[in-house]
Amino acid sequence: MKDNKLLTLGIETSCDETAAAVTANGREALSNVIFSQIETHKAFGGVVPEIASRRHLENINEVIEGALLEACVEPAQIDMIGVTKGPGLVGALLIGIACAKTLAFVWEKPLIGVHHIQGHISANYIAHRELEPPFTALVVSGGHTSIVEVMDYNRCRVMGKTRDDAVGEAYDKVARVLGLSYPGGPAIDDIAKRGNPHSVEFKRVFLEKGSYDFSFSGTKTGVLNYLNSEKQAGREICPADVAASFQLSIIEVLVSKAADAAQTAKHGKLALAGGVAANSLLRQMLSAECEKRQITLYCPPSVLCTDNAAMIGCAAYYKYMAGEHDGLDLDAHANLEL
Ligand code: KG4
Ligand code: ZN
């Protein structure tokens, strides 16, 4: 189905999800195929870069074919190809980029490299068709934690970011020491529902007054120290209580800073983005805080929060509309700044 809409084939391979999607006019996902490698990496307790690259290579063709088939779209109907150019695992990124370049060359379509975080933010345009910039976004993933003022579809200002661990990284590390399965975020989200969030008071790190930066490594170390001291004292720990207490200490800071930033930016709109945006307590507490401060909160469904290619297709569309595109010399950038 085309209906005179511009169709984008989006490709995402920055970490452990091999994903392709067809999007229409940057607002509609006609298909969103995700091949997750979680089961492969579970045995190692985290993503093994070399294995991730190999799995992408094995699955990318089938995932792209699946995305075209599900959208009922022929290659000739595609208007542009969008691909994640960074940040991420360089070997993993290169598979998606090589594939996108080949298709752009053979099909004679424009090629557009997309910043992964710009993609996460753009997931909100699919989930909320009425949402337009400017707005404030809280970006929380396995590799990033930042508060961003989205001035326009292609223009952002970083208001604050983590000075050490990303929030998803802290979740994954704490989950590992609690003996929970990978990925740790959903495991903590789940087990915390059965725990007492006030059983241990872990430190809330707010940094300097007025700062929108974050620091999670102290809280993470606080959990490790607590577990060690309980073990040394011969006391049994309750993983659900520790998970719930850790989660509350992190989310209180995220909610407070994001709501303050949205209020300062004065756009009256706050959008959530990234894998950790799927967290149930974050959604619940942010929703209550935004309601109190009369800020409209935008939360994409979980499938659009974690890594996917529909968000990449959407971000590529807005770059294309602004006249931006890349040549066949497009390269992967592991540490690309927003
Ligand atoms: O955005 P994403 O899929 O990949 C990156 O770009 O990093 O985010 C993955 C991160 C992982 O750290 C995972 O543990 C976390 O998102 N995550 C969650 C939840 N679902 C995924 N963290 C907390 N609660 C969740 N429900
Ligand atoms: Zn991501």
* 35-71 residue pLDDT tens: 999 999 988 988 999 999 999 999 999 999 999 999 9
Residue 1, pLDDT above cutoff 60 = no
Q: Distance between CA atoms of 13 and 255, rounded to whole angstroms?
A: 30
In angstroms, what is the span from residue 142 Cα to ligand 2's centroid? 7
- Beta carbon of 307 within 6 Å of any ligand 1 atom: yes
Confidence of residue 225 (pLDDT cuts 50, 70, 90): very high
Query: Top-level CATH class of 133-299?
Result: alpha beta
> 201-207 long-range CB contacts below 8 Å, 24 or more apart?
201/245, 201/249, 202/226, 202/245, 202/246, 202/249, 203/249, 204/249, 204/252, 204/253, 205/253, 206/253, 206/256, 206/257, 207/163
- Beta carbon of 86 within 6 Å of any ligand 1 atom: no
Q: What is the pTM of this model?
A: 0.95
- Beta carbon of 278 within 6 Å of any ligand 1 atom: yes
- Tell which one of 34, 117, 171 to mutate to probe ligand 1, the residue whose CB is within 8 A of the most ligand atoms: 171
Work out which ligand 1 atom sits closest to the CA atom of 183. Answer: 14
Q: What is the mean pLDDT of the chain?
A: 96
- Tell which one of 32, 276, 280 to mutate to probe ligand 1, the residue whose CB is within 8 A of the most ligand atoms: 276
CATH code of 7-124+305-321, in short, is 3.30.420.40
- Tell which one of 41, 141, 286 to mutate to probe ligand 1, the residue whose CB is within 8 A of the most ligand atoms: 141
For 41, the token pair is 């990496």
* 153-171 residue pLDDT tens: 999 999 999 999 999 999 9
Domain with CATH 3.30.420.40 in the chain: 7-124+305-321, 133-299
